[in-house]
Amino acid sequence: MAFRFEIIKKDSFSRARIGRVETDHGSFNTPVFLPVGTQGTVKSLTPEELVEIGVEAILANTYHLYLRPGHETIGRLGGLHTFIHWERPILTDSGGFQIFSLGSLRKISEEGVIFQSHLDGSSHFLTPEKVMEIQRSLGSDIAMVLDECVPYPSPYEYVKTSMERTSRWAKRCLEVRRENDPALFAIVQGGVHRDLREKSVQTLVEMGFQGYAMGGLSVGEPKSMMLDVLEWTTPFLPENSPRYLMGVGTPEDIIDAVMRGVDFFDCVLPTRNARNGILFTSSGKISIKQAQYVEDRRPVDETCACYTCRHYSRAYLRHLYLSKEILSSRLNTIHNLYYYMTLLGKIREAIQEGRLLDFYKSHNSHHGLETEFSNHFQSN
């Protein structure tokens, strides 16, 4: 499959940059946020609604689609794009994080991972080669290598062993990759240990992948520690390859990571929060179930142009949520994803216009957050 990443502009203060990714299913701009469509659907929304919101690419999950309905079934039906009626790019996560979350239901060895399905308890064996086979059948545009996501905290020796095995798994994925397979991204591991992260990057970069992800973060470590890991890691990654921070995150985390040179993000936060009645606004999050909104005629955010804010009041959204109506999840999800798409658009615009630092300070000020960003993060 075709894959190309081009850097369009770099920020003069930080490591942030604007880029463009080209695939067989279209192009998208970076920094980018990929809504999570774990089982081939971004919960509660149609593909047409995602396009209207401004979504350019989505994430689906290898583990879940392998179990149900099965990658071979999807392959026979024309691949994932056809199956889910999504014509734009798709990135598939290999399932390493889902396997990590299974806990006692999985056993890791050098060969791969034996795990029990969370659906019916059936036993399965996932190897690096199998992960490539599955993603080949799905026909995604970007595939991830199989990795082990280590919990925080974990003993240094365990993290080291896991990181080295992840690197060997990455090499096995690369060795079975075919010419028309999706672009392949490696996953940097190493926990919160600087020497392990640097060793992981060195090993993977020598192999040569089309992109590099940073895994094993946002798993319980302090935010400051996550930012330190990004600070150590991104300077060692190839300048002309996309950098992907997996499973992150909040709007503030995204801005902080962009300033440290990250290009791709994904997280269930905007969609999961929407289903739980938590909505993002230009002045912070609100919980729509609160009694103060019972007769509030205002939209969720008076500065927002999404479908929900153009047509519905906070009072009505509160009523839908408390009544457990399906429409509540739909309208809330439309708003939250629109907020994220708009945020990323504003970040790209700020980089383009050379005012990212001002944007960072303004955003944090509106949300009551610290506005300091030390110039030791500056790229030279």
User: Quick check: bond before 128 cis, omega within 30?
Assistant: no
φ/ψ (deg, to 5) at 358? -65, -40
Question: What is the sign of the dihedral through the CA atoms of 260, 262, 263 and 267?
Answer: negative
Under 8 Å between Cβ of 288 and 321: yes
Under 8 Å between Cβ of 74 and 65: yes
Under 8 Å between Cβ of 271 and 284: no
- Among the listed residues 93, 147, 253, 301, the single catalytic one is 93
Residue 120 falls in the annotated catalytic set: no
311 contact partners, CB below 8 Å, separation of at least 6: none
Of the chain, the end-to-end C-alpha distance in Å amounts to 35
- Among the listed residues 253, 256, 266, 301, the single catalytic one is 266
Joined tokens for residue 200: 């992981």
Residue 93 falls in the annotated catalytic set: yes
Q: What is the SS3 assignment for 244?
A: strand
Residues marked as catalytic:
93, 266
